[in-house]
């Protein structure tokens, strides 16, 4: 009894020591709590694997529609449970305090429990719970029926995938030895190195994600009911496939991107921690926000892009593959025929008859015509946009990829430079030709202006001139009219030099005409005046002449000033349009038109 008591005491003591050691271990050995206890990671893994399971189950339901009732949902449910369990237990076992539980037996028990519950659930859901005697008579066939094997495999697959992903992502966390070195090595005398190749771990996760995605796409392809019904905008909802499958694939890829982003954050965080680089709080705080924002923007933007227009390309690619296949098959047939001939020659037997032609394949299902969509865009617009976007996207992606591999695209740059130079050369020649043509036209116009000016008249008659052209037209009309009355602009005379001279000339011309007009008016006044006698008559004549002379002097001055102002205004407007390139208002053009009319009247045109 004493021995038993002592043994018990020893056992209790050992247990206490274990608990104490465990608690001490937890307290003394540091580990990356923020990463290990993060909820986001297991949730993302669960979503990822659940999406994969959903597509798998959709395939199973397609192959065996009878299972689509309760079986598929329950397997899906247990798959998700298996994923969560795998994530949780793997994280739990990664804690230093629980290392002693990290044994194959523990994991086996976990899988066994999952399978047992799945087995029970399948029996209950499908209503095939066997009688107890069946367990004794046919134990294997009772336990391991087809439904359980398929369901169990899917559950185990989900659990394994979740476990592997979680384990890899946990390896991205700061390891205990790294944290210990960071805590104790305050002045950096220890070598700052990590034995964990985190980038390769993240690459492995990404590869697994891509492989899973490809598998899902291929499975989804087998689920297709028919060709898509729409190739335009929002074509994602017009695909002839179960929306849940498309949704699962899309969510799988988006979730994978989120997971990779989290892995990248863990990688950076560990690198900074090992290198003792302090990081600002907002780096970690803003990270998920940036990722979500980016995914949302690109995800929503992608839904607005066209998806179609690849039918002909598919035909071309298919034709090419068929050609390659037929060629290879023909070569193979040829060699086989030679071999047969050789065998027949050796054995002396006639070669076996050629197999009968296989039955022709069934005709392809009729292509369902897409419903015509009412659109204002041409039918080829969506396809053109699609190809443009694809070319840009894939081209730039290829450029990035090959640039990263050390390719400098010197030949492409040289080609581009050569094409650019050639274009500039051609364009320069064209510009030179244009300049020559314009100069020649201008010279011709000048010559015609000197001789008789036909082209200006043609231009003058064109009615659809804008405000600036009208201003230039009015000024050129002024020049033309002035030249016609013998007041042309001199060679090398600027418009501003010409304006006061022209105004003065017009005024003098006008005065001359007015004086001659006065004389005429005097004669008329004299003739109209009633005949008076003697001195009265002579006095009256003088008064009339004075009145007639004094009145035009003041009028002439104001008229001269007005002419100068008119010519100056027209010249200023022309300079503004021609040389300063400042546009004029339409109302201003009307005013200039009135001024021009006044000047024209003075020129007696």
Partner 1 sequence: MNNLFWALLLLFLVGVLLRMDWVYYLVYVIGGMWVFSHWWIKRSVGKLDVQRQLADHAFLGEKIPVEVRFTNRSWLPLPWLQLQELVPLDLKDALDYSMVISVGSRAVVEHDYTLYCKRRGYYALGPLSLRTGDLFGFVDTVWQTNQIVNITVYPQVLALHKLGLPSSAPFGVIASRQRLFEDPARLAGVRAYTNGDSQRAIHWKASAHSDSLLVKKFQPAIALNVALVLDLNREAYPHVGEYGLSEWAIVIAASLASHMVQQRQPVGLITNGLDVLSDQLAAALPSRNGQGQLMSILSLLARLKMHVFAQDLATWLPNQITHLEWGTTLIVVTPQLDEQALWVLHNAYRRGSQVIVLLCAPQIDLEVLQSRGKKLGVAIYKTIWEKDLEALESLGTG
Query: With left for phi above 0 and alpha for psi between -120 and 50, is residue 581 left, alpha or beta?
Result: left
User: Could you tell me the smallest distance in angstroms from the CB atom of residue 177 to partner 1?
Assistant: 21
The DSSP output letter for 229 is S
Residue-by-residue DSSP string for 17-68: HHHHHHHHHHHHS---HHHHT-SHHHHHHHHHHHHHHHHHHHHHHHH-GGGG
Nearest residue (CB) to partner 1, 19 versus 210: 210
The least distance separating partner 1 from the CB of residue 310, rounded to whole angstroms, comes to 5
Q: How many alpha carbons fall within 13 Å on the CB side of residue 515?
A: 5
| Cβ–Cβ < 8 Å for 269, 284 | yes
Nearer to partner 1, 88 or 394 (CB): 394
Smallest distance, partner 1 to C-beta of residue 39, A: 20
Alpha-carbon distance 84 to 80, whole Å? Answer: 6
Cβ atoms of 76 and 244 within 8 Å: the answer is: no
Q: Please state the closest distance from residue 80 (CB atom) to partner 1, in A.
A: 23
CB of 328 to partner 1, least distance (A): 18
Nearer to partner 1, 303 or 576 (CB): 303
Q: Do residues 284 and 213 touch, judged by C-beta distance below 8 A?
A: no
DSSP helix/strand/coil, 532: coil
Least separation in angstroms between CB 291 and partner 1: 5
SS3 state of residue 197: coil
Helix (H, G, I), strand (E, B) or coil at 407: coil
Closest to partner 1 by CB, 264 vs 448, is 264
Task: Kindly tell me which of 62 and 578 has the beta carbon lying closer to partner 1.
Answer: 62
Distance from C-alpha of 164 to C-alpha of 90, rounded to nearest angstrom:
9
CB of 31 to partner 1, least distance (A): 22
Tallying the residues shown for the chain, one arrives at 605
Least distance between partner 1 and beta carbon 184 (Å): 15
Taking only Cα atoms into account, the Rg of the chain, rounded to an integer number of angstroms, comes to 49
Distance in angstroms (rounded) separating the CA atoms of residues 242 and 219: 12
- Looking at the Cβ atoms of 289 and 441, the one nearer to partner 1 is 289
* Least Cβ distance, residue 151 to partner 1 (angstroms): 28
Least spacing, CB of residue 266 vs partner 1, in Å: 11
Which C-beta is closer to partner 1: that of 78 or that of 386?
A: 386
Nearer to partner 1 by C-beta: 148 or 307?
A: 307
Pick the closer one to partner 1 by CB: 290 or 416: 290
Taking the complex as a whole, the smallest distance from the CB of residue 313 to partner 1 amounts, in Å, to 5
Q: Which is nearer to partner 1, 92 or 402 (CB)?
A: 402
Q: How far is the CB of 366 from partner 1 (least distance, A)?
A: 15
Cβ distance to partner 1 smaller for residue 231 or 571: 231
Q: C-beta of 49: minimal distance to partner 1 in Å?
A: 18
Environment class of residue 228 by beta-carbon count within 10 Å: exposed (0-12), middle (13-18) or buried (19+)? middle
Least gap, CB of 560 to partner 1 (angstroms): 54
For 423-457, b where at least 16 C-beta lie within 10 A, e where not — what string? eeeeeeeeeeeeeeeeeeeeeeeeeebeeebeebe
**Tokens at 44, concatenated:** 């993302």
Contacts 24+ apart (CB under 8 A), 265-272: 266/35, 266/169, 266/172, 266/173, 266/198, 267/172, 267/198, 267/199, 267/202, 269/35, 269/174, 270/32, 270/172, 270/173, 270/174, 270/178, 270/194, 270/196, 270/198, 271/198
Number of neighbours of residue 349 by Cβ within 10 angstroms: 9
**In this complex, which beta carbon is closest to partner 1, that of residue 72 or of residue 219?**
219
User: Would you say 453 and 571 are in contact if contact means Cβ atoms under 8 Å apart?
Assistant: no
What is the maximum span of the chain, computed from C-alpha positions, in angstroms? Answer: 181
Q: Of 255 and 563, which has the nearer Cβ to partner 1?
A: 255
Q: Which is nearer to partner 1, 275 or 542 (CB)?
A: 275
**Measured between alpha carbons, how far is 432 from 434 in angstroms, rounded to an integer?**
5
State how far the Cα of 123 lies from the Cα of 310, in Å rounded to an integer.
47
Q: What are φ and ψ of residue 604, in 5° steps?
A: 60, 45
Residue number, 174 or 507, with CB nearest to partner 1? 174
SS3 159: helix
* Token pair listed for 319: 């034709």
List the Cα angle 79/80/85 in 5-degree steps. 95
Q: CA torsion 324→328→329→335, rounded to 10°?
A: 160
> Residue 307 CB, nearest distance to partner 1 (Å)?
4
Coil, strand or helix at 278: coil
């Amino acid at each position: 009894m004493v021995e038993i008591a002592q043994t018990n005491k020893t056992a209790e003591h050992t247990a206490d020591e274990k608990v104490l050691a465990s608690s001490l271990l937890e307290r003394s050995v540091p580990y990356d709590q923020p990463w290990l206890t993060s909820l986001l990671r297991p949730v993302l893994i669960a979503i990822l694997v659940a999406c994969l399971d959903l597509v798998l189950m959709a395939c199973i339901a397609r192959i065996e529609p009878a299972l689509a009732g309760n079986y598929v949902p329950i397997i899906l449910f247990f798959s998700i449970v298996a994923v969560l369990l795998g994530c949780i237990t793997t994280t739990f076992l990664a804690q230093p305090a629980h290392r002693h539980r990290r044994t194959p037996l523990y994991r086996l028990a976990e899988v066994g429990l999952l399978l047992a519950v799945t087995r029970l659930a399948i029996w209950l859901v499908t209503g095939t719970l066997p009688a107890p005697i069946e367990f004794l008579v046919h134990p294997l066939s009772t336990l391991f029926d087809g439904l359980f094997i398929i369901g169990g495999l899917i559950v185990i697959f989900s659990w394994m995938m979740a476990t592997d992903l979680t384990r890899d992502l946990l390896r991205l966390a700061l390891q205990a030895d790294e944290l210990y070195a960071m805590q104790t090595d305050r002045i950096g005398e220890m070598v700052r190195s990590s034995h964990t190749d985190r980038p390769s771990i993240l690459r492995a996760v990404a590869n697994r994600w891509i492989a899973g995605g490809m598998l899902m796409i291929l499975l989804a392809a087998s689920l297709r009911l028919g060709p898509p019904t729409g190739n335009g905008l929002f074509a994602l909802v017009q695909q002839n496939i179960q929306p849940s499958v498309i949704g699962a694939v899309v969510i799988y890829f988006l979730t994978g991107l989120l997971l990779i982003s989290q892995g990248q954050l863990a990688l950076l965080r560990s690198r900074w921690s090992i290198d003792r680089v302090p990081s600002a709080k907002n780096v970690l705080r803003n990270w998920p926000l940036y990722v979500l924002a980016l995914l949302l923007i690109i995800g929503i933007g992608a839904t607005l892009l066209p998806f179609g227009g690849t039918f002909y390309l598919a035909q071309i690619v298919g034709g090419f593959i068929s050609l390659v296949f037929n060629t290879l098959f023909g070569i193979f047939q040829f060699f086989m025929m030679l071999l047969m001939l050789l065998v027949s020659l050796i054995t002396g037997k006639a070669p076996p008859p050629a197999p009968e032609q296989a039955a022709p394949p069934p005709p392809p299902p009729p292509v369902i015509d897409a419903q015509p969509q009412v659109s204002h865009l041409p039918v080829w617009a969506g396809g053109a946009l699609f190809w443009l976007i694809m070319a840009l996207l894939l081209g730039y992606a290829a450029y990035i990829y090959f640039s990263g591999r050390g390719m400098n695209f010197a030949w492409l740059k040289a080609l581009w430079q050569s094409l650019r130079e050639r274009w500039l050369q051609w364009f320069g020649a064209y510009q030179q030709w244009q300049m020559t043509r314009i100069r020649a036209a201008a010279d011709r116009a000048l010559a015609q202006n000197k001789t008789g000016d036909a082209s200006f008249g043609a231009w003058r008659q064109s009615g659809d001139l804008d405000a600036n052209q009208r201003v230039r037209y009015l000024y050129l009309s002024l020049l033309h009219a002035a030249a016609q009355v013998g007041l042309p602009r001199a060679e090398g005379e600027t418009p501003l030099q010409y304006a006061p001279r022209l105004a003065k000339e017009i005024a003098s011309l006008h005065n001359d005409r007015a004086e001659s007009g006065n004389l005429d008016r005097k004669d008329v006044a004299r003739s109209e005046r009633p005949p008076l006698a003697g001195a009265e008559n002579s006095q009256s004549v003088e008064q009339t002449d004075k009145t007639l002379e004094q009145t035009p002097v003041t009028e002439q001055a104001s008229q001269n000033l007005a002419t100068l102002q008119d010519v100056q205004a027209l010249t200023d407007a022309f300079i503004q349009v021609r040389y300063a390139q400042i546009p004029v208002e339409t109302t201003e053009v009307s005013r200039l038109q009135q001024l021009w009319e006044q000047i024209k009247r003075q020129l007696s045109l």
